[in-house]
Amino acid sequence: MSLLNSTHGYGGLTKALHWLVAVLFGFQYLAGAVMTRMAPNGTALGLTQSAWYNWHKSIGLVALAIALVRLANRNLGDLPPWAPSLNDGEKRFIHRAEQLMYGAMLVMPVSGFLYVMAGGYGVHLFGHWHLPNPIGAWPLLELTSRLVHQVAGIALAVAVLGHVGLVLRHQLFFRDGLLRRMLPGRSGTP
Ligand code: HEM
Ligand code: HEM
């Protein structure tokens, strides 16, 4: 398996980053749900509300850095051909869902960052470093970036559910091994 994508399949870097982002985004949704619903002075799974916010913001900024690497990686090498078992409608859906997922990988962390900076909440990165606030209080930006974060969060969840649903449908019902294209070591197009 090569590091970069090729006409033989996705490269090792694409696969590693794909699953890393899937885990990080899973955590982001869990943290987003917990921290916005818990009592301000309570704990959830052993963490205070401010610890949940810190982890959510910190992991989100790490995810932004990974998204930039992923985007650059996507433009290096050749993309593998479509899996032959996909019909035209599915190809169109995958294309749109991937555009949306790549867009959201950037929009989610950027809108989150703008929201906490414009709102004056700041980022205490991993509980160790206070990031400088390049924006300062800006109520209109605070409001709009929060809205963008919430709406893009819903759009991303819908795209990911459709994406996973399509993969599982092929994997479990058509048994064409679509999932293998993103698993380590096996680049073959089923
Ligand atoms: C990288 C991907 C990210 C994802 C997928 C994500 C996802 C989410 C989700 C699903 C929520 C819950 C929305 C709700 O139920 O109201 C949320 C809330 C929030 N996120 Fe993120 N987030 C990300 C990055 C960030 C970053 C980088 C920051 C800040 C530096 C941030 C700050 C916040 C804040 C402050 C809230 C609470 C908003 C509210 O009170 O309505 N997020 N995020
Ligand atoms: C359990 C969850 C997931 C499964 C089972 C899964 C499975 C797959 C598979 C099998 C492919 C290769 C499709 C092909 O043949 O071309 C793929 C590609 C892709 N997936 Fe996922 N995926 C999951 C979660 C996610 C998440 C959370 C994101 C983004 C936030 C994502 C974004 C992408 C993208 C952008 C591609 C195209 C290849 C690339 O440029 O990286 N996936 N996924």
Does some domain include residue 189?
no
- pLDDT value of residue 27: 98
Range of the domain at 103: 12-182
Tens digits of residue pLDDT in 34-78: 999 999 999 999 999 999 999 999 999 999 999 999 999 999 989
Tokens of 111: 């809108």
For the chain, how many structural domains are there in total?
1
d(CA 188, CA 179) in angstroms, rounded, equals 11
- pLDDT value of residue 185: 82
Does some domain include residue 5?
no
Does some domain include residue 59?
yes
CATH at 69 = 1.20.950
101 lines ligand 1 (CB under 6 A): no
Tokens of 66: 């990974």
Tens digits of residue pLDDT in 141-170: 999 999 999 999 999 999 999 999 999 999
d(CA 22, CA 62) in angstroms, rounded, equals 13
- Please tell me the residue having the least CA distance from ligand 2 atom 26: 22
Written as one letter, the residue type at 4 is: L
Tell the residue number behind the tokens 């035209």, with chain if given: 88
Tens digits of residue pLDDT in 45-55: 999 999 999 99
pLDDT greater than 90 at residue 6: yes
113 lines ligand 1 (CB under 6 A): yes
Between the alpha carbon of residue 161 and those of residues 49, 164, 167, 184, 189, the distances in Å are: 28, 5, 10, 22, 23
d(CA 119, CA 135) in angstroms, rounded, equals 9
25 lines ligand 2 (CB under 6 A): yes
Q: How many CB atoms lie within 10 A of CB 67?
A: 23
Q: What angle do CA 37, 43, 47 make, to 5 degrees?
A: 105
Ligand nearest to the CA of 18: 2
- Please tell me the residue having the least CA distance from ligand 1 atom 19: 32
pTM score above 0.85: yes
Nearest-Å Rg of the Cα atoms of the chain is 19
- Write down the mean pLDDT value for the chain: 96
